[in-house]
Amino acid sequence: MHRIKHVVRMASSSSTNATIASRHTQYSHAKTGGFSQEAPTLHNPYRDDPILDRVLRRLLPESQYVKVSADLTKFGDRITSEIEHLGRQAELEQPRLEHQDAWGKRIDKLVVCNEWQKLKHICAEEGVISIGYENDVDPFVRRIHQVAKLFLFSPSAGLVSCPMAMTDGAVKTLTSLNLYGKHKLATEAVDRLRSRDPTSAWTSGQWMTEKKGGSDVAGGCDTYAVQIENDTYRLNGYKWFSSAIDADVALTLARIVDSDGNAVEGSRGLSLFLLRIRDDNGNLNGIQMVRLKNKLGTKQLPTAELLLDGAIAERIGEPGRGVAGISNMLNITRIHNAVASLGYMRRIISLARDYSTKRVVFGQTQSKWPLHTTTLAKMEVETRGSMLLLFESARLLGLSEAGKSSDVDAMMLRLITPVLKLYAGKQAVPLVSEGIECFGGQGYMEDTGLPTILRDAQVTPIWEGTTNVLSLDVLRVFSGKENILLAFGKRVSQLLSNTKSEEPKLQKSKESIESALKELQKLLVKASDSAVQGETRIDTVARHISFAIARIYSGALLIDHASDSTVANQSDIEVAYRYCCEQPLIDLRWEWFANERVKSDRAIVFDNYLGLQKSKI
Ligand code: UCC
């Protein structure tokens, strides 16, 4: 502003037209906005990641690491040269639904852009699902490879990552229910869902949510199944959120109606069904696509309300075991959900880091301003903690599929799946928001593509179970027969056992983890004792317990990683220290368990509530 005033003053006081003209030329760029800010560059996300390669080197046998690393390097190049553009186009050219043809005939035609189709082809070609199931590779290796690939892909995927999550979950469910090779449709589905041939590959949907449902799947399920013959049924119901409706098959839940016309209510009344969405001619299978959802984000992805009006479906699994059956899928899609959260976090940091080397403010690049780098460093520390938790889940999943899990491994897989999903989802939104801020006003501009990351990240704490529902699943794990608390303690101790004694920062980090673990154990034991007397409740602190598990587990993994001198560097030690010692690992107080707190919570929440139905509170 100063400078502009100065120029105007000089121009008006100058003596010759020639001088004025030359000055006009000199400053003309100011009037035309001639300066352009350099955009952030998306580098090969595998080679650009500060930790991924080293994590893989630790987790994989050398010969496998070499193969996986080569595949990820090539895929990283494909992301920057091709996939990123396709994902962006999918956001710009969103799906639409045509209900009728020109003559009024109901057609329910879903129109998706070519780029969306191309992305699905790429998924098959690149084997993003098949890698998880290839017979000639150790399952332990293939799940780590798959998670790494999905992690790179997800933020550029134009939300094709969603049908991939459900496709993976469907393969897992159908194979876990032991249907492969025994059930015609399930066998064909498994072969096609994990195919690398784009011309024959299928994708799967998962229709669980109904108008009354959402979190409470069983309480809200009003879809009924009437037997035609054997395991074949007709389904009638209304599915409220059905994503990726261009899929080929879907898994869904319904209540079987008996010969007297009765159906069992509640969770035990739900059975699991597999259905084809269209026949070989592309006609919908007794399904009407009522409308596409108008979502805050994930706009690339066709999510619809569906009316099942006699859809023909095959019952799979035992009648009444629908929730347990579909949990196979949920536990896979929840890992995919965490992949998405971590993918968004890494992407925004990577772009902000690159931008910081280009954007000049107050005379120097952002990267030279300590307040800026300290902001980025905090984001990096948080991201690394959850990233190690993600790869721990991939390792444990692979071990379980290889039949090599110890008891502790099996318990840890069940525990950390909801913990990882809820914690990463909860981190993603504020972290991406912080990352957007690193671009100033540009981060708020739609045509940079940056707001899409924030919009899409917002779905991760909601999709596949909200933070509260996932926290209650964590309590479900604790309420089982096994001593999960003891197993968790063992796994943490195992991770801390290699801590280098000559590194004071790692020693301090270890002490911090041990003390947080002890505190958590003490509180949980005390709570379970006093719950018997009815003085306390645990559900109200389920989130805090879950967050503490996430932070203690992640901290221990960071220490374990930093203690491995074959891959670790000085920044790994610093990251572990900051994660474990500079922020509380556990945010939980004994008084929060007290029963009476529920009353005071209600008093706070409904203070001066103007609703008329106070009796319902
Ligand atoms: O549909 C959606 C969109 C899909 C898109 C996916 C893509 C994501 C990737 C993103 C990329 C960007 S979203 C759907 C959202 N809805 C949910 O996630 C549901 C949330 N609610 C829950 O998870 C609840 O906890 C329920 C529905 C599972 C609770 O149901 P019940 O009926 O109350 O459960 P019960 O009675 O406690 O459990 C029934 C059985 C028990 O086994 P048994 O009978 O042997 O004791 C449980 O132990 O199911 C078992 N069970 C589980 N087993 C329940 N949950 C689990 C689990 N997670 N793992 C293993």
**Mean pLDDT (whole number) for 467-471:** 98
The more confident residue out of 510 and 31 is 510
The region that residue 246 occupies, defined by phi over 0 for left and psi between -120 and 50 for alpha, beta otherwise, is alpha
- Does residue 21 register a pLDDT over 50? yes
- Measured from the Cα of 464, ligand 1's closest atom is 18
Q: 327, 400, 415, 478: which to mutate for ligand 1, most atoms within 8 A of CB? A: 327
For residue 505, give both structure tokens: 């920062």
* Domains of the chain by residue range: 483-607
Q: Which residues pair with 303 in a beta bridge?
A: 243
In whole angstroms, give the CA distance from residue 469 to residue 475: 10
In whole angstroms, give the CA distance from residue 153 to residue 344: 10
In whole angstroms, give the CA distance from residue 241 to residue 322: 18
- Measured from the Cα of 244, ligand 1's closest atom is 5
- Does residue 11 register a pLDDT over 50? no
**Mean pLDDT (whole number) for 509-515:** 98
- The CB density around residue 149, as the number of other CB atoms within 10 Å, is 23
Dist. CA 137 → ligand 1 center (Å): 30
* Whole-Å CA distances, 205 to 23, 257, 606: 65, 24, 40
Using pLDDT thresholds of 50, 70 and 90, give the confidence band for residue 5. very low
Dist. CA 333 → ligand 1 center (Å): 11
- Supply the pLDDT for residue 561: 97
Dist. CA 479 → ligand 1 center (Å): 16
Dist. CA 243 → ligand 1 center (Å): 17
Which of the residue ranges 68-82, 133-147, 431-445 would you say has the lowest mean pLDDT? 133-147
**Mean pLDDT (whole number) for 382-397:** 98
**Mean pLDDT (whole number) for 306-312:** 97
Dist. CA 324 → ligand 1 center (Å): 7
* Identity of the residue numbered 516: A
Dist. CA 475 → ligand 1 center (Å): 13
Q: Which residues pair with 98 in a beta bridge?
A: 109
**Exposure of 450 by Cβ count < 10 A (0-12 exposed, 13-18 middle, 19+ buried)?**
buried
Query: How high does pLDDT run on average in the chain?
Result: 93
Dist. CA 332 → ligand 1 center (Å): 11
**Mean pLDDT (whole number) for 62-69:** 97
> Among 556, 555, 492, which residue's Cα sits nearest to residue 521?
492
Dist. CA 268 → ligand 1 center (Å): 13
- Does residue 37 register a pLDDT over 80? yes
> Among 192, 193, 133, 129, which residue's Cα sits nearest to residue 402?
133
- Supply the pLDDT for residue 219: 82
- Supply the pLDDT for residue 246: 94
- Measured from the Cα of 208, ligand 1's closest atom is 1
**Mean pLDDT (whole number) for 295-313:** 97
- Supply the pLDDT for residue 501: 74
Pairing between β-strand 360-361 and β-strand 364-365 as defined by DSSP bridges: antiparallel
Using pLDDT thresholds of 50, 70 and 90, give the confidence band for residue 19. confident
Using pLDDT thresholds of 50, 70 and 90, give the confidence band for residue 612. low
**Exposure of 125 by Cβ count < 10 A (0-12 exposed, 13-18 middle, 19+ buried)?**
middle
Place of tokens 């269209």: 278
Task: Indicate which residue's Cα is closest to atom 32 of ligand 1.
Answer: 267
- Does residue 2 register a pLDDT over 50? no
In whole angstroms, give the CA distance from residue 334 to residue 535: 34
**Mean pLDDT (whole number) for 269-275:** 97
Dist. CA 306 → ligand 1 center (Å): 21
For residue 509, give both structure tokens: 């980090």
- Supply the pLDDT for residue 15: 52
For the segment 335-378, what is each residue's pLDDT rounded down to a tens digit?
999 999 999 999 999 999 999 999 999 999 999 999 999 999 99
- Supply the pLDDT for residue 593: 95
- CA-based radius of gyration for the chain: 27
The more confident residue out of 296 and 35 is 296
**Residue 60 φ then ψ, to 5°:** -105, 150
Dist. CA 329 → ligand 1 center (Å): 9
Percentage of the residues of the chain whose pLDDT score is greater than 70: 94
In whole angstroms, give the CA distance from residue 368 to residue 363: 10
In whole angstroms, give the CA distance from residue 427 to residue 420: 10
Q: Which residues pair with 243 in a beta bridge?
A: 303
- Does residue 12 register a pLDDT over 60? no
> Among 185, 346, 263, which residue's Cα sits nearest to residue 177?
185
Using pLDDT thresholds of 50, 70 and 90, give the confidence band for residue 213. confident
Dist. CA 336 → ligand 1 center (Å): 15
For the segment 397-429, what is each residue's pLDDT rounded down to a tens digit?
999 999 999 999 999 999 999 999 999 999 999
- Supply the pLDDT for residue 614: 66
**SS3 per-residue string spanning 43-56:** CCHHHHCCCHHHHH
**Mean pLDDT (whole number) for 45-49:** 98
Do residues 405 and 399 touch, judged by C-beta distance below 8 A?
A: yes
- Measured from the Cα of 414, ligand 1's closest atom is 59
Using pLDDT thresholds of 50, 70 and 90, give the confidence band for residue 522. very high
Q: Ligand 1: residues within 6 Å at CB?
A: 161-162, 165-166, 206, 208-209, 215, 217-218, 241, 243, 267, 323-324, 327, 330-331, 333, 336-337, 340, 463-465, 469, 473, 476
Dist. CA 326 → ligand 1 center (Å): 7
**Mean pLDDT (whole number) for 47-70:** 97
For the segment 491-506, what is each residue's pLDDT rounded down to a tens digit?
999 999 989 778 999 9
- Supply the pLDDT for residue 31: 66
- Confirm whether pTM is higher than 0.85: yes
Which of the residue ranges 1-10, 78-87, 198-207, 565-574 would you say has the lowest mean pLDDT? 1-10
Q: Where are the alpha helices (DSSP H) in 402-541?
A: 407-437, 450-457, 467-478, 484-496, 504-532
Task: Indicate which residue's Cα is closest to atom 45 of ligand 1.
Answer: 324
- Measured from the Cα of 456, ligand 1's closest atom is 12
- Measured from the Cα of 266, ligand 1's closest atom is 32
Dist. CA 323 → ligand 1 center (Å): 6
- Does residue 1 register a pLDDT over 50? no
Q: 168, 217, 264, 421: which to mutate for ligand 1, most atoms within 8 A of CB? A: 217
Which of the residue ranges 48-52, 90-94, 562-566, 610-614 would you say has the lowest mean pLDDT? 610-614
For the segment 525-540, what is each residue's pLDDT rounded down to a tens digit?
999 888 777 889 999 9
- For helices 139-153 and 114-126, what crossing angle results, to 10°? 160
For the segment 218-238, what is each residue's pLDDT rounded down to a tens digit?
888 999 999 999 999 999 999
Using pLDDT thresholds of 50, 70 and 90, give the confidence band for residue 8. very low
Do residues 282 and 248 touch, judged by C-beta distance below 8 A?
A: no
For residue 295, give both structure tokens: 């979502």
| DSSP SS3 for 550 | helix
Task: Indicate which residue's Cα is closest to atom 55 of ligand 1.
Answer: 327
Q: 323, 334, 390, 539: which to mutate for ligand 1, most atoms within 8 A of CB? A: 323
- Measured from the Cα of 339, ligand 1's closest atom is 11
